[in-house]
Amino acid sequence: MAHTYSIGVDIGGTNTDIGLVRNDGKIVTRRNIPTNKYFDIDIYLKDITDIVKDMMKENDIENIEGIGICAPNGNYYKCTFSGATNLNFKGDFNVQEIVSRYMDVPVVVSNDANAAAFGELVYGGGKGMKHLIMFTLGTGVGSGIIIDGKMLLGSTGGAGELGHVITIPGGRQCGCGLKGCLETYTSATGIRRTALEMLENNPSYDGVLSKIPAEELTSKHVGDAANAGDPLAIQIFEETGKVLGLAMANACSFSSPEAVFLMGGPVKAGKVLLDPVRKSFAENLLFVYKDSVEVRVSELPDNDAAILGAAAVIKSL
């Protein structure tokens, strides 16, 4: 069967990755340009379309399904990423409109977590599913929700902010202004916070985490220490897993998905985090969903996930 192709563009504050993606999830070729060298959205998008045209020519591809763009502040309904604080582009703009000046191709714009969820659905472990939830653990906690094979966008386009579900009422202060948000406990930053709290509460502990200056301590250190058997690190992940498993179980009472996926830095610690997550998930899941929902780790390769997510979003049209 003949292959089809699409373009995935992952816009970060520093770099923009552009990939030509085959329908089986293979990234045929990729390029990147420095986002922060551009100040004019028109020139920036023109350069991207030039690269897209080059990629198509080099690979003898006449048609692509479209260009999927994943960007900070990405808004699917408005086809924009206007107002993203870490990008240089000022004012309001519509990406489809600008791209149309240079290339006749459908464009969709998404935020990171929605793209991750859709990437998992189209190219990853969610293939064949209709309902899934993706939690992305990074500096914050993002989420993308797939309902009946479609991205859940809601009335504003901003549905799926499960990182800001108040999981522990009256709990930790979150940057969003609320208290007890999931991300204050289970993002990389939240895990660091738990680690610092536990170090303070266990002055007699003299393991590896106590040797790292507080300002340098990261969730990666905790993961490495937990995998080396450090008891405090293991306890930190047990606490993290309790909160995350609870939030994941709660999310199931909303949409009854076939799977809840996890991705992001802290997830790479593996069993030391995932075992407590699964335990808490099982304990907190409403009985009616037992045996209908799995806890899974994203199957997209780290280096490909963002481009695949962006490219996948074009399938939502």
Which residue, 24 or 291, is less far from its own copies as judged by CB? 291
Closest CB 254 distance from its own copies, rounded Å: 5
User: Does 77 sit near its own copies (CB under 8 A)?
Assistant: no
Instruction: Report if residue 238 touches its own copies, rule: CB under 8 A.
Output: no
Strand locations in the chain, DSSP E?
Answer: 5-11, 15-22, 27-34, 67-70, 107-110, 132-137, 141-147, 150-151, 259-264, 294-297
**Closest by CA position to 249, among listed 279, 274, 275, 285:** 285
Distance CA 181, CA 173 (A): 8
Query: Does the protein bind its own copies through residue 73 (CB under 8 A)?
Result: no
Q: Rule CB under 8 A: say whether 160 interacts with its own copies.
A: yes
Alpha carbon of residue 300 to chain centroid: 11
**Nearest CB to its own copies, comparing residues 209 and 293:** 293
Number of residues that bind its own copies (CB under 8 A): 44
Q: Which of 14, 36, 173, 292 binds its own copies (CB under 8 A)?
A: 292
| 101 binds its own copies, rule: CB under 8 A | no
CA separation (Å) from 89 to 16, 68, 196, 307?
A: 14, 19, 37, 21
Q: How far is the CB of 255 from its own copies (least distance, A)?
A: 5
Pick the stretch among 17-25, 146-154, 187-195, 264-272 that binds its own copies (CB under 8 A).
146-154
Under rule CB under 8 A, residue 254 binds its own copies: yes
Among 12, 6, 1, 48, smallest CA distance to 27 is for 6
Residue 239, C-beta contacts closer than 8 angstroms, at least 6 positions apart:
185, 194, 198
Distance CA 22, CA 5 (A): 5
2 Cβ contact partners less than 8 Å away, ≥ 6 residues apart: none
**Can residue 214 be called a binding residue for its own copies (CB under 8 A)?**
no
Cβ pair 171, 184 in contact under 8 A: yes
CB of 171 to its own copies, least distance (A): 9
- Answer for which of 289, 301, 302, 317 binds its own copies (CB under 8 A) is 289
153 binds its own copies (CB under 8 A): yes
Nearer to its own copies, 44 or 81 (CB): 81
Q: Which amino acid is at 111?
A: N
Q: Which stretch binds its own copies (CB under 8 A): 103-111, 151-159, 194-202, 207-215?
A: 151-159
Closest CA to 244 of 136, 88, 99: 136
Determine, following the binding rule CB under 8 A, whether residue 71 of this chain makes contact with its own copies.
no
Q: Does 257 bind its own copies (CB under 8 A)?
A: yes
Among residues 43, 214, 228, 288, the one that binds its own copies under rule CB under 8 A: 288
SS3 179: strand
Q: Does 154 bind its own copies (CB under 8 A)?
A: yes
Task: Using CB under 8 A, pick the residue from 209, 251, 263, 312 that binds its own copies.
Answer: 251
Which residue, among 10, 247, 249, has the nearest Cα to 114 in the 3D structure?
10
Give yes or no for residue 169 binding its own copies (CB under 8 A): yes
Q: How far apart are CA 247 and CA 234, in angstroms?
A: 20
**Binding segment (CB under 8 A) for its own copies, from list 33-41, 152-160, 199-207, 211-219:** 152-160
Among 62, 91, 104, 287, binds its own copies (CB under 8 A): 287
Query: What residues line the site for its own copies (CB under 8 A)?
Result: 129-131, 145, 147-148, 150, 152-162, 164-169, 176-178, 246, 249-251, 253-258, 284, 286-289, 292-293
